[in-house]
């Protein structure tokens, strides 16, 4: 695949007023989400739930793509149509999470590093055959008094860049995701400093590995105080700090930036994105790739009565997509 092809997929992922729905929870993470609302974590429940999300009518009005998990990309609707086929028919670009999750970084208590590079070339080739057009790899950066170490930042960014180069070789758009975790009592200033160090290291590493930025998407956390911090920030403050750190570190050649929700409420995640876009124009589209902030309301509704609430749960996902799609244009108004 040429760089032009990669670029056109990347641009379609961040088309005006559209974002991505992240439904790539690993089996352990979906277990936590299901348990919270009393759903059994069986393969059939996971399949049925992902079908509900992927077949929500008119999803593609505000959703460009969806990130799937290894199990999900192999699954089909109850009528036997592979999810990737349904998605392509409905104008939703299939993406795939390819990292194998974070493990403790030896020698650096509190830091983690994401694994999954071994055998990645072969796995990517299979995902391409299964219909994926983009991939995702998430690095986790913890903040505490002693974390993150510069070693953890470098190790994670090196892995992200190695993954990104392999994706482009395979014809997949790499979504590179450094997530600075919101847990902790750190200030917004500390969050800013960590984001700045991580993004600088990431774009250096991408350069070193010959990754073409034109065919890459950044998925990133927002600059926000820790959840346990006494000083919570106003919407405008989060938006201003996030835009500032991105302008300082992210080259303008990148086709787009999307955010993760990271434990923000639905309302916060939409309000922050909206405020950032109202401060535009920016060098790149700013959109969303939310997991929880796209799904949690729908999951709660579905858990109460899987049959009776099916259509309403789909409408709820759609409503979240619409609000976030408007926020991606800076046109959302709080209710």
Shortest distance (Å) from residue 219 CB to ligand FBP: 7
Sequence-separated (6 or more) residues with CB below 8 Å from residue 29 = none
Exposed/middle/buried for 130, CB within 10 Å: 0-12, 13-18, 19+? middle
Q: Does the footprint of ligand FBP cover residue 7 (CB under 6 A)? A: no
**Rounded Cα gap, residues 19 and 306, in angstroms:** 26
Supply the minimum distance, in Å, between the C-beta of residue 34 and ligand FBP.
Answer: 13
Q: Does residue 320 bind ligand FBP (CB under 6 A)? A: no
Binding mask 112-151 for ligand FBP (x = CB under 6 A): --------------------------x-------------
Residues catalogued as catalytic? 177, 219
Cβ closest to ligand FBP, residue 143 vs residue 260: 260
CB of 182 to ligand FBP, least distance (A): 9
In contact, 320 and 293? CB cutoff 8 Å: yes
State in angstroms the smallest separation of the CB of 116 from ligand FBP: 11
CB of 249 to ligand FBP, least distance (A): 20
Q: Residue 44: CB partners within 8 Å, gap ≥ 6?
A: none
E strand residue ranges, 185-254? 217-220
Please report whether residue 41 would count as binding ligand FBP according to CB under 6 A: no
**In the complex, residue closest to ligand FBP by CB:** 291
Q: Measured between alpha carbons, how far is residue 230 from residues 2, 56, 191, 227 in Å?
A: 50, 40, 14, 9
Q: Where are the beta strands (DSSP E) in 181-244?
A: 217-220
CA distance 105 to 159: 13
Scanning 106-114, 224-232, 285-293, 324-332 for contacts with ligand FBP by CB under 6 A, the matching segment is 285-293
> Counting contacts by CB under 6 A, is residue 260 touching ligand FBP?
yes
Alpha-carbon Rg of the chain, whole angstroms?
Answer: 19
CA distance 65 to 283: 22
Single out the segment in contact with ligand FBP by CB under 6 A; choices: 8-16, 23-31, 52-60, 103-111: 23-31
**Closer residue to ligand FBP (CB): 259 or 284:** 259
Positions that interact with ligand FBP (CB under 6 A): 22, 24-26, 29, 67, 101, 138, 177, 260-262, 290-293
């Amino acid at each position: 695949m040429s760089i032009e092809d990669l670029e056109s997929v990347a641009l379609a992922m961040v088309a005006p007023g559209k974002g991505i729905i992240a439904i790539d929870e690993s089996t352990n993470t979906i277990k936590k989400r299901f348990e919270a609302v009393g759903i059994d974590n069986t393969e059939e429940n996971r399949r049925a739930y992902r079908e509900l999300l992927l077949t929500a009518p008119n999803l593609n009005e505000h959703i460009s793509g969806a990130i799937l998990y290894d199990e999900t990309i192999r699954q089909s609707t109850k009528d036997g149509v592979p999810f990737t086929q349904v998605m392509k028919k409905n104008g939703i670009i299939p993406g795939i999470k390819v990292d194998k999750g974070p493990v403790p970084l030896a020698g650096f208590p509190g830091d983690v590093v994401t694994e999954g590079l071994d055998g990645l070339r072969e796995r990517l080739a299979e995902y391409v055959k299964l219909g994926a057009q983009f991939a995702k790899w998430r690095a986790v950066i913890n903040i505490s008094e002693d974390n993150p170490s510069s070693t953890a930042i470098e190790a994670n960014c090196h892995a992200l860049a190695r993954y990104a180069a392999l994706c482009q070789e395979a014809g997949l758009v790499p979504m590179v995701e450094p997530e600075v975790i919101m847990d902790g009592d750190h200030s917004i200033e500390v969050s800013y400093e960590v984001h700045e160090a991580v993004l600088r290291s990431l774009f250096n590493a991408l350069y070193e590995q010959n990754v073409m930025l034109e065919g890459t998407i950044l998925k990133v956390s927002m600059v926000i105080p820790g959840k346990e911090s006494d000083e919570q920030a106003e919407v405008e403050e989060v938006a201003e700090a996030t835009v500032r750190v991105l302008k300082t570190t992210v080259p303008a050649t990148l086709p787009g930036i999307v955010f993760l929700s990271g434990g923000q409420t639905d309302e916060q995640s939409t309000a922050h994105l909206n405020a950032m876009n109202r401060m535009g124009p920016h060098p790149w589209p700013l959109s969303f790739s939310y997991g929880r902030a796209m799904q949690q309301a729908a999951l709660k509704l579905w858990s109460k009565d899987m049959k009776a609430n099916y259509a309403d749960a789909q409408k709820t996902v759609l409503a979240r997509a619409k609000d976030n799609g408007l926020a991606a244009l800076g046109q959302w108004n709080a209710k």
